[in-house]
A and B are shown apart, each in its own frame.
Chain A
């Protein structure tokens, strides 16, 4: 019986205009999205490569670091066609700020983002990456495929015709779910695979690491889970209503809520419940601390110079003392801010997880290396890089302030400027990060389908 109903559903779907529509749209939109995204990636990659080459050319000597400053470039992710994520707002370059060479304490790394899309208009509507295609287009198709499964057949009168036979209801709902889901995701999978084959063949999809195919597979699994969640939600609502039109109205409202409202509200709610000062305020507070301490430091040095008790060692000692004090204060401020921001972010993220869409969008960014993990990894690696710069270069080249001005003292480091390399995120960290969302998506699928299953067993087919 399962097979009979499964085959009928498949045949009914593939002879319907909605299947043809989904197939055509998938075959057009998905390759187009992949093409546009990979082209954007290529532009960013080219820009990154040019910047790195230029930097390496201009930083042959340690003194270049002292006068031109150090820079750490984050490479763009070749998987950004899956999800552009935070790519456009995430820092892609960190550079030294302040007067280099005075001491390590005043050499800080400032994060910047020099990226922008080709067409600024894109910002209004967001990118055409796979995340958009799945979260908007495919979830919508999922609803279109499932809303009439039960209430539609009831309304049409065919459900009664089926149920007057010795067919177990559980087989009907299972066959319907399986067949409709297969028909729904087939055009999607064909279009994704076709896009990859075409663009990989043309060298447009640049998989930078050997994990790329694994990550690609992961992203497809997440996509299928999100499509499944909306499909099963449609099936559930279809068993709760008696008319297909009621089903579609309820589902459209649910779609707006789950896609558009809930994820945004979670962020707003977290900001209201747990406010965190803005980065500008933080920078202003840090500058205040720095200025006060520097003023105090200069006052003490000036006093020594005025009283004729100044010496290089004494100046160095005072600067080191204040440098330590400033570093300590700034670090404390940073840590507190980061901690509060992390709490707020976690709160927003967990609230947003009430929507399957959020359980898809964020992990997709992490899989595509355009998410929060990448941001954190870059910040962490840059901090490590700063330490290398301090230890190897800046701490070895000190300047002395005298009555006659600044005098430099050549340090011990004479090799080429250290080059920044971003370490890939360990697989364990990625898995640990996306696992809760994966489990939640599975739960949403099971929950919605179980609801539909149980409800259908008692569905009034009259």
Chain B
């Protein structure tokens, strides 16, 4: 394991009460200034992985670390170093964008921010000025996703977890979203993103992993992907190849 990795999963497994094995001995790590894209079909275990990192569910076996802190043992300390953007950012509809940002900034430990600080962050994610004091219930999905990433930015955590953040966004909004992620990466953030979008994963990901039936069946670096067609690779892995036959499961 790389000692510089800020996000780590070691032998992480999750078996739910209904005996479904959602995650099977996952080993992965993400470093600062790195974007890791996790691809996989629905039910492959992507969201489970994020839920385990956020301590929403306890692991059956294994450990996950954020900034070297065992998430299960000290979840509150670990959460200081992580931000989260969900597939469908749902905030308080009766609050304005600024009020939502203010609330979540305070929860993230930023207590002394001014209105201008909030406006600056919202401008950075390309939210229009007139939307700052608008109620969020009037926002489009793209605007809500931008506000979601604003919350992550304002918390200024070294790790950002994103669960299919571009799902349902129009191409322009998705492109803008990825530009923001690229900026955050350049600021040293470790970005872990689950997605169905193979093209954008290839575009932004420094590493791309493919999950199938709870297992990480493939992992490629950006350099390796230059010579490969990710779509073909992905489709090949998604075909009914028995998992036991997979040779490319990356060892931690």
Q: Which residue of chain A has the shortest Cβ distance to B96 in the bound complex? A: A15
Report yes or no: B103 in contact with A16, Cβ–Cβ below 8 A: no
Report the interface size for chain A: residues with CB under 8 A from the other chain.
23
* Cβ-based interface call for A161 (8 A): yes
* Cβ-based interface call for A415 (8 A): no
Please report which residues of chain B, range 71-101, place their CB below 8 angstroms from some CB of chain A when the two chains form the complex. 76-77, 79-80, 82-84, 86, 88-92, 94-95, 99
A85, B166: Cα distance in complex, Å: 62
Report yes or no: A161 in contact with B57, Cβ–Cβ below 8 A: no
Chain B 147-163 interface mask (CB, 8 Å, partner A; 1/0):
00001000100000100
Q: Which stretch in B34-42, B104-112, B114-122, B230-238 binds the other chain?
A: B104-112
* Cβ-based interface call for B54 (8 A): yes
Residues of the B chain whose Cβ atoms lie less than 8 Å from the Cβ of A214: none
Report yes or no: B54 in contact with A164, Cβ–Cβ below 8 A: yes
Please report which residues of chain A, range 317-343, place their CB below 8 angstroms from some CB of chain B when the two chains form the complex. none
Q: Which residue of chain A has the shortest Cβ distance to B103 in the bound complex? A: A8
Report yes or no: B107 in contact with A162, Cβ–Cβ below 8 A: yes
* Cβ-based interface call for A254 (8 A): no
Q: Measured between C-beta atoms, what is the minimum distance from A18 to chain B in Å?
A: 11
Residues of the A chain whose Cβ atoms lie less than 8 Å from the Cβ of B94: 12, 15-16
* Cβ-based interface call for A409 (8 A): no
A158, B106: Cα distance in complex, Å: 15
In-complex Cβ contact of B106 among A4, A12, A460 (8 A) = A4
With A11-B95, A16-B94 given, is the CB distance from A161 to B104 under 8 Å?
Answer: yes
Q: Which stretch in A40-48, A51-59, A165-173 binds the other chain?
A: A165-173
In-complex Cβ contact of A161 among B51, B86, B106 (8 A) = B86
Residues of the A chain whose Cβ atoms lie less than 8 Å from the Cβ of B161: 164
A167, B155: Cα distance in complex, Å: 13
Residues of the B chain whose Cβ atoms lie less than 8 Å from the Cβ of A419: none
With A160-B84, A164-B84, A165-B79 given, is the CB distance from A15 to B90 under 8 Å?
Answer: no
Report yes or no: A460 in contact with B95, Cβ–Cβ below 8 A: no
Q: Which residue of chain A has the shortest Cβ distance to B53 in the bound complex? A: A164
Report yes or no: A166 in contact with B77, Cβ–Cβ below 8 A: yes
Please report which residues of chain A, range 156-190, place their CB below 8 angstroms from some CB of chain B when the two chains form the complex. 156-158, 160-168
Report yes or no: B92 in contact with A158, Cβ–Cβ below 8 A: yes
With A11-B95, A12-B95, A165-B104 given, is the CB distance from A157 to B86 under 8 Å?
Answer: yes
A11, B161: Cα distance in complex, Å: 29
A80, B92: Cα distance in complex, Å: 44
Residues of the B chain whose Cβ atoms lie less than 8 Å from the Cβ of A12: 92, 94-95
In-complex Cβ contact of B56 among A1, A16, A166, A461 (8 A) = A461
A12, B82: Cα distance in complex, Å: 26
Q: Measured between C-beta atoms, what is the minimum distance from B137 to chain A in Å?
A: 11
Report yes or no: B108 in contact with A165, Cβ–Cβ below 8 A: yes
In-complex Cβ contact of A164 among B77, B82, B88, B103 (8 A) = B82
Residues of the A chain whose Cβ atoms lie less than 8 Å from the Cβ of B91: 158, 161
* Cβ-based interface call for A462 (8 A): yes
With A15-B94, A158-B92, A160-B86 given, is the CB distance from A166 to B76 under 8 Å?
Answer: yes
A321, B155: Cα distance in complex, Å: 96
Report yes or no: B56 in contact with A163, Cβ–Cβ below 8 A: yes
Closest 8 CB pairs of A and B: A157-B90, A164-B84, A165-B107, A4-B106, A166-B79, A166-B76, A15-B94, A166-B80
Which residues from chain A sit less than 8 Å from chain B, CB to CB? Answer: 1, 4-5, 8, 11-12, 15-16, 156-158, 160-168, 460-462
- A/B interface sample: 7 pairs, CB < 8 A: A8-B92, A8-B103, A16-B94, A157-B86, A158-B90, A163-B56, A164-B54
Which residues from chain B sit less than 8 Å from chain A, CB to CB? Answer: 51, 54, 56-57, 76-77, 79-80, 82-84, 86, 88-92, 94-95, 99, 103-104, 106-109, 151, 155, 161
